[in-house]
Structure 1
Amino acid sequence: MKLFLAIFFSLFACNLLAQDKFSGDYYNYFGSELKLKPDSTFEYRWRLEQASSWTNGTWKTKKDTIFLKMVPVYDTVWVNPTTIRLYLSLNERGQKVAAKEQSLRPGTTEGQNQHPAPEKLFLQGTRLYGIERNGSLQKTKVQGYRTERKFDPWYMKVEGK
Protein backbone atom coordinates (compact mmCIF):
# COMPACT_ATOMS: atom_id res chain seq x y z
CA MET A 1 0.00 0.00 0.00
CA LYS A 2 2.85 2.38 0.84
CA LEU A 3 4.45 1.68 -2.52
CA PHE A 4 1.13 2.43 -4.30
CA LEU A 5 0.75 5.74 -2.43
CA ALA A 6 4.35 6.70 -3.13
CA ILE A 7 3.89 6.07 -6.86
CA PHE A 8 0.54 7.89 -6.92
CA PHE A 9 1.88 11.02 -5.22
CA SER A 10 5.01 10.99 -7.38
CA LEU A 11 2.92 10.95 -10.55
CA PHE A 12 0.64 13.66 -9.15
CA ALA A 13 3.65 15.86 -8.32
CA CYS A 14 5.13 15.33 -11.80
CA ASN A 15 1.82 16.39 -13.35
CA LEU A 16 1.83 19.61 -11.30
CA LEU A 17 5.41 20.35 -12.36
CA ALA A 18 4.43 19.80 -16.00
CA GLN A 19 1.59 22.31 -15.62
CA ASP A 20 4.10 24.86 -14.27
CA LYS A 21 6.23 24.35 -17.41
CA PHE A 22 3.35 25.59 -19.59
CA SER A 23 1.51 27.97 -17.24
CA GLY A 24 2.07 31.68 -17.68
CA ASP A 25 1.25 34.75 -19.73
CA TYR A 26 2.12 34.86 -23.42
CA TYR A 27 1.70 37.52 -26.12
CA ASN A 28 2.42 37.99 -29.81
CA TYR A 29 2.93 41.02 -32.07
CA PHE A 30 -0.55 40.74 -33.54
CA GLY A 31 -2.58 41.83 -30.51
CA SER A 32 -3.07 38.41 -28.90
CA GLU A 33 -2.54 37.59 -25.24
CA LEU A 34 -2.87 34.10 -23.79
CA LYS A 35 -2.91 33.25 -20.10
CA LEU A 36 -2.47 29.55 -19.32
CA LYS A 37 -3.48 29.01 -15.70
CA PRO A 38 -2.17 26.15 -13.53
CA ASP A 39 -5.74 24.87 -13.03
CA SER A 40 -5.87 23.97 -16.78
CA THR A 41 -8.04 26.93 -17.77
CA PHE A 42 -7.05 29.71 -20.15
CA GLU A 43 -7.98 33.27 -21.04
CA TYR A 44 -7.35 34.54 -24.56
CA ARG A 45 -7.62 38.22 -25.51
CA TRP A 46 -7.17 39.88 -28.89
CA ARG A 47 -7.21 43.62 -29.57
CA LEU A 48 -6.56 45.55 -32.77
CA GLU A 49 -7.57 49.18 -33.07
CA GLN A 50 -11.36 49.31 -32.46
CA ALA A 51 -11.87 45.54 -32.56
CA SER A 52 -11.51 43.11 -29.65
CA SER A 53 -12.29 39.53 -28.77
CA TRP A 54 -12.04 37.19 -25.81
CA THR A 55 -12.20 33.44 -25.38
CA ASN A 56 -12.06 31.36 -22.21
CA GLY A 57 -11.70 27.63 -21.93
CA THR A 58 -9.64 24.68 -20.81
CA TRP A 59 -6.26 23.38 -21.94
CA LYS A 60 -4.42 20.10 -21.81
CA THR A 61 -1.06 18.89 -23.01
CA LYS A 62 0.39 15.93 -24.80
CA LYS A 63 4.18 16.06 -24.67
CA ASP A 64 5.01 19.66 -25.69
CA THR A 65 1.75 20.34 -27.56
CA ILE A 66 -0.98 22.39 -25.89
CA PHE A 67 -4.60 21.83 -26.92
CA LEU A 68 -7.03 24.70 -26.22
CA LYS A 69 -10.77 24.09 -26.02
CA MET A 70 -13.20 26.98 -25.90
CA VAL A 71 -15.89 26.90 -23.21
CA PRO A 72 -18.62 29.20 -24.54
CA VAL A 73 -20.60 31.59 -22.36
CA TYR A 74 -24.14 32.13 -23.63
CA ASP A 75 -26.80 34.77 -23.18
CA THR A 76 -30.39 33.52 -23.05
CA VAL A 77 -32.57 35.62 -25.36
CA TRP A 78 -36.32 35.52 -24.76
CA VAL A 79 -37.93 35.83 -28.20
CA ASN A 80 -41.45 35.33 -26.81
CA PRO A 81 -42.85 33.59 -23.70
CA THR A 82 -42.33 30.11 -25.18
CA THR A 83 -39.21 30.58 -27.35
CA ILE A 84 -35.67 31.21 -26.23
CA ARG A 85 -32.40 31.33 -28.17
CA LEU A 86 -28.79 31.16 -27.07
CA TYR A 87 -26.18 33.62 -28.34
CA LEU A 88 -22.52 33.95 -27.47
CA SER A 89 -22.30 36.49 -24.67
CA LEU A 90 -20.47 39.78 -25.09
CA ASN A 91 -19.24 39.62 -21.50
CA GLU A 92 -17.82 36.80 -19.40
CA ARG A 93 -21.01 35.97 -17.53
CA GLY A 94 -24.14 34.92 -19.34
CA GLN A 95 -27.35 36.80 -18.75
CA LYS A 96 -31.00 36.91 -19.75
CA VAL A 97 -31.63 39.36 -22.57
CA ALA A 98 -34.83 40.52 -24.23
CA ALA A 99 -34.98 40.03 -28.01
CA LYS A 100 -35.14 43.81 -28.51
CA GLU A 101 -31.91 44.27 -26.50
CA GLN A 102 -30.14 41.57 -28.54
CA SER A 103 -30.95 43.38 -31.79
CA LEU A 104 -29.34 46.58 -30.43
CA ARG A 105 -26.01 44.91 -29.64
CA PRO A 106 -22.90 45.83 -31.61
CA GLY A 107 -21.82 43.83 -34.65
CA THR A 108 -18.75 41.68 -35.08
CA THR A 109 -16.09 44.13 -33.85
CA GLU A 110 -16.15 42.88 -30.27
CA GLY A 111 -17.25 39.96 -28.17
CA GLN A 112 -16.62 36.33 -27.47
CA ASN A 113 -14.59 34.33 -29.97
CA GLN A 114 -14.78 36.94 -32.74
CA HIS A 115 -11.06 36.28 -33.26
CA PRO A 116 -10.74 32.66 -32.06
CA ALA A 117 -7.90 31.36 -29.95
CA PRO A 118 -5.60 28.88 -31.66
CA GLU A 119 -6.59 25.26 -31.11
CA LYS A 120 -3.04 23.83 -30.91
CA LEU A 121 0.28 25.33 -29.90
CA PHE A 122 3.74 23.85 -29.48
CA LEU A 123 6.03 24.88 -26.61
CA GLN A 124 9.70 25.31 -27.47
CA GLY A 125 11.67 27.08 -24.75
CA THR A 126 9.64 30.16 -23.82
CA ARG A 127 7.86 30.38 -27.18
CA LEU A 128 4.50 28.97 -28.23
CA TYR A 129 4.29 28.21 -31.94
CA GLY A 130 1.14 27.76 -33.95
CA ILE A 131 0.91 24.47 -35.82
CA GLU A 132 0.16 24.45 -39.56
CA ARG A 133 -2.30 21.94 -41.04
CA ASN A 134 0.61 19.89 -42.36
CA GLY A 135 2.04 19.66 -38.81
CA SER A 136 4.92 22.13 -39.27
CA LEU A 137 5.46 24.99 -36.82
CA GLN A 138 4.58 28.56 -37.83
CA LYS A 139 8.03 30.16 -37.81
CA THR A 140 7.96 32.31 -40.97
CA LYS A 141 7.68 36.03 -40.24
CA VAL A 142 4.31 37.58 -41.10
CA GLN A 143 3.66 41.06 -42.46
CA GLY A 144 2.13 43.37 -39.88
CA TYR A 145 -1.10 45.30 -40.12
CA ARG A 146 -0.69 48.61 -41.99
CA THR A 147 3.06 48.21 -42.35
CA GLU A 148 5.61 46.58 -44.61
CA ARG A 149 7.49 45.30 -41.58
CA LYS A 150 7.39 41.56 -40.83
CA PHE A 151 6.97 40.15 -37.32
CA ASP A 152 7.59 36.87 -35.54
CA PRO A 153 4.32 34.85 -35.49
CA TRP A 154 4.90 33.02 -32.20
CA TYR A 155 3.81 33.83 -28.65
CA MET A 156 6.50 34.90 -26.19
CA LYS A 157 6.26 34.17 -22.49
CA VAL A 158 6.14 37.16 -20.17
CA GLU A 159 8.88 36.48 -17.63
CA GLY A 160 8.46 37.33 -13.96
CA LYS A 161 4.74 36.64 -13.70
Structure 2
Amino acid sequence: MRFKILAFLLLVLAYKSLAQRNYTGKYNDHFGHELRLNSDSTFKHTTRIDLIYSWTSGIWEFNNDTIYLKPVFIYDTLTFVNKEKVIIDSLVLSFDEKGEKINSDQYATLTREYGGIKQNQFIIPEKVYYKEDRLYLIGKNGRLIKKKSKPFKTRNKHISWYIKKN
Protein backbone atom coordinates (compact mmCIF):
# COMPACT_ATOMS: atom_id res chain seq x y z
CA MET A 1 0.00 0.00 0.00
CA ARG A 2 2.81 2.42 0.89
CA PHE A 3 4.50 1.62 -2.40
CA LYS A 4 1.35 2.52 -4.36
CA ILE A 5 0.98 5.84 -2.53
CA LEU A 6 4.65 6.67 -3.04
CA ALA A 7 4.43 5.74 -6.73
CA PHE A 8 1.32 7.90 -7.12
CA LEU A 9 3.01 10.89 -5.47
CA LEU A 10 6.11 10.52 -7.64
CA LEU A 11 3.92 10.31 -10.74
CA VAL A 12 2.07 13.50 -9.77
CA LEU A 13 5.35 15.35 -9.11
CA ALA A 14 6.81 14.17 -12.40
CA TYR A 15 3.69 15.31 -14.25
CA LYS A 16 3.81 18.75 -12.63
CA SER A 17 7.49 19.22 -13.42
CA LEU A 18 7.01 18.14 -17.05
CA ALA A 19 3.98 20.38 -17.45
CA GLN A 20 5.88 23.32 -16.03
CA ARG A 21 8.58 22.97 -18.67
CA ASN A 22 5.99 23.71 -21.37
CA TYR A 23 5.41 27.15 -19.91
CA THR A 24 9.04 28.17 -19.53
CA GLY A 25 10.59 30.56 -22.01
CA LYS A 26 10.49 34.14 -23.16
CA TYR A 27 7.22 35.85 -24.12
CA ASN A 28 6.81 39.27 -25.74
CA ASP A 29 3.85 41.48 -26.53
CA HIS A 30 3.59 44.36 -29.00
CA PHE A 31 3.79 47.07 -26.34
CA GLY A 32 7.38 46.53 -25.13
CA HIS A 33 6.68 43.98 -22.38
CA GLU A 34 8.72 40.82 -21.99
CA LEU A 35 8.00 38.00 -19.57
CA ARG A 36 10.66 35.33 -18.99
CA LEU A 37 9.42 32.25 -17.13
CA ASN A 38 12.34 30.22 -15.80
CA SER A 39 12.25 26.49 -15.06
CA ASP A 40 13.09 27.16 -11.38
CA SER A 41 9.68 28.89 -10.98
CA THR A 42 11.17 32.40 -11.05
CA PHE A 43 10.27 35.09 -13.56
CA LYS A 44 11.45 38.45 -14.78
CA HIS A 45 9.08 40.93 -16.38
CA THR A 46 10.57 43.88 -18.25
CA THR A 47 9.07 46.87 -20.04
CA ARG A 48 10.96 49.03 -22.53
CA ILE A 49 9.26 52.13 -23.84
CA ASP A 50 11.44 54.88 -25.32
CA LEU A 51 13.89 55.82 -22.54
CA ILE A 52 11.93 54.07 -19.79
CA TYR A 53 12.96 50.65 -18.57
CA SER A 54 11.15 48.84 -15.78
CA TRP A 55 11.74 45.39 -14.35
CA THR A 56 10.05 43.14 -11.83
CA SER A 57 11.19 39.73 -10.69
CA GLY A 58 9.43 37.11 -8.63
CA ILE A 59 8.07 33.59 -8.52
CA TRP A 60 5.39 31.91 -10.61
CA GLU A 61 3.20 28.84 -10.36
CA PHE A 62 0.54 27.35 -12.53
CA ASN A 63 -2.83 25.73 -12.04
CA ASN A 64 -5.09 24.56 -14.89
CA ASP A 65 -3.20 26.55 -17.57
CA THR A 66 -3.35 29.74 -15.49
CA ILE A 67 0.03 31.14 -14.48
CA TYR A 68 0.10 33.16 -11.27
CA LEU A 69 2.84 35.78 -10.95
CA LYS A 70 3.95 36.91 -7.50
CA PRO A 71 6.47 39.77 -7.47
CA VAL A 72 9.36 39.59 -5.03
CA PHE A 73 10.76 43.08 -4.64
CA ILE A 74 14.42 43.77 -4.03
CA TYR A 75 15.18 46.54 -1.56
CA ASP A 76 18.19 48.63 -0.67
CA THR A 77 18.63 49.88 2.88
CA LEU A 78 18.95 53.66 2.70
CA THR A 79 20.80 55.06 5.71
CA PHE A 80 20.59 58.78 6.45
CA VAL A 81 20.97 61.19 9.36
CA ASN A 82 18.00 63.39 10.27
CA LYS A 83 18.05 66.93 11.75
CA GLU A 84 18.41 65.58 15.28
CA LYS A 85 21.57 63.67 14.21
CA VAL A 86 19.80 60.32 14.52
CA ILE A 87 20.76 57.60 12.06
CA ILE A 88 17.69 56.21 10.32
CA ASP A 89 17.44 53.18 8.04
CA SER A 90 14.72 53.08 5.42
CA LEU A 91 13.92 50.59 2.67
CA VAL A 92 13.79 51.75 -0.96
CA LEU A 93 13.26 49.71 -4.12
CA SER A 94 16.64 48.72 -5.51
CA PHE A 95 17.79 50.01 -8.89
CA ASP A 96 19.54 46.73 -9.64
CA GLU A 97 19.00 43.10 -8.77
CA LYS A 98 21.02 43.01 -5.57
CA GLY A 99 20.01 44.53 -2.27
CA GLU A 100 22.66 46.59 -0.53
CA LYS A 101 23.13 49.30 2.06
CA ILE A 102 23.46 52.81 0.60
CA ASN A 103 23.61 56.34 1.96
CA SER A 104 21.68 59.40 0.77
CA ASP A 105 24.53 60.57 -1.50
CA GLN A 106 24.70 57.15 -3.19
CA TYR A 107 20.91 57.16 -3.56
CA ALA A 108 21.02 60.57 -5.27
CA THR A 109 23.78 59.36 -7.60
CA LEU A 110 21.90 56.16 -8.45
CA THR A 111 18.74 58.18 -9.16
CA ARG A 112 20.67 60.35 -11.63
CA GLU A 113 22.58 57.46 -13.22
CA TYR A 114 19.65 55.10 -13.63
CA GLY A 115 17.12 57.81 -14.51
CA GLY A 116 14.34 55.97 -16.33
CA ILE A 117 15.28 52.52 -14.98
CA LYS A 118 13.04 51.52 -12.12
CA GLN A 119 11.90 48.37 -10.43
CA ASN A 120 8.17 47.72 -10.75
CA GLN A 121 7.41 51.02 -12.47
CA PHE A 122 4.72 49.27 -14.50
CA ILE A 123 2.34 46.97 -12.66
CA ILE A 124 2.55 43.41 -13.96
CA PRO A 125 -0.44 41.11 -14.38
CA GLU A 126 -1.29 38.92 -11.39
CA LYS A 127 -2.21 36.02 -13.63
CA VAL A 128 -2.16 35.06 -17.29
CA TYR A 129 -3.73 32.17 -19.18
CA TYR A 130 -1.53 29.87 -21.27
CA LYS A 131 -2.87 28.59 -24.58
CA GLU A 132 -0.87 27.46 -27.63
CA ASP A 133 2.37 29.31 -26.78
CA ARG A 134 0.47 32.48 -25.93
CA LEU A 135 -0.17 34.16 -22.61
CA TYR A 136 -3.50 35.96 -22.44
CA LEU A 137 -4.25 38.64 -19.88
CA ILE A 138 -7.27 37.96 -17.71
CA GLY A 139 -9.70 40.84 -17.27
CA LYS A 140 -11.38 41.93 -14.06
CA ASN A 141 -14.46 39.97 -15.12
CA GLY A 142 -12.36 36.78 -15.30
CA ARG A 143 -12.48 36.55 -19.11
CA LEU A 144 -9.50 36.36 -21.41
CA ILE A 145 -8.56 39.58 -23.19
CA LYS A 146 -8.36 38.55 -26.85
CA LYS A 147 -9.25 41.83 -28.54
CA LYS A 148 -6.63 43.86 -30.31
CA SER A 149 -5.99 47.25 -28.77
CA LYS A 150 -4.66 50.61 -29.90
CA PRO A 151 -1.57 52.13 -28.36
CA PHE A 152 -1.59 55.85 -27.64
CA LYS A 153 -1.81 58.14 -30.73
CA THR A 154 -2.13 55.51 -33.44
CA ARG A 155 -4.86 54.14 -35.67
CA ASN A 156 -3.51 50.61 -35.85
CA LYS A 157 -4.69 47.90 -33.49
CA HIS A 158 -2.23 45.36 -32.12
CA ILE A 159 -2.52 42.06 -30.31
CA SER A 160 -2.68 42.39 -26.54
CA TRP A 161 -1.32 38.96 -25.59
CA TYR A 162 2.21 37.64 -25.13
CA ILE A 163 3.71 35.34 -27.77
CA LYS A 164 6.42 32.81 -26.94
CA LYS A 165 9.78 33.47 -28.59
CA ASN A 166 12.32 30.66 -28.94
TM over 0.5: yes
Deviations 1:86-141 (A, max 9, x none): 00001011111111332341487321000122111011111100011011111111
* Stretch deviating more after TM superposition (69-78 or 79-88): 79-88
Contact 1:141/1:152 (<8 A) preserved = yes
Gaps of 5+ in 1: none
* 2:87 is the alignment partner of 1:86: no
1:100 corresponding residue in structure 2: 105
How far does residue 67 in structure 1 lie from its aligned partner after superposition?
Answer: 0.7
2 CA distance for matches of 1:62 and 1:5? 22
Give the Cα–Cα distance (whole angstroms) in 2 for the partners of residues 87 and 156 of structure 1. Answer: 33
> Contact between 1:25 and 1:33, CA under 8 Å: does it hold in 2?
yes
Cα distance in 1, alignment partners of residues 78 and 164 from structure 2: 39
Count residues with an aligned counterpart: 159
Q: Which runs of 4+ in 1 moved over 4 A?
A: none
* 1:100 alignment partner, SS class: helix
Aligned partners of 1:108 and 1:114 also within 8 Å: no
2:119 alignment partner, SS class: coil
- For residues 14 and 122 of structure 2, the distance between their equivalents in structure 1, rounded to whole angstroms, comes to 35
Corresponding position of 1:69? 70
Distance 2:38 2:152 in 1: 29
Structure number, greater radius of gyration: 2
Whole-Å separation in 2 of the counterparts to 1:109 and 1:140: 30
Gaps of 5+ in 2: none
Q: Work out the percentage of aligned pairs sharing the same amino acid.
A: 36
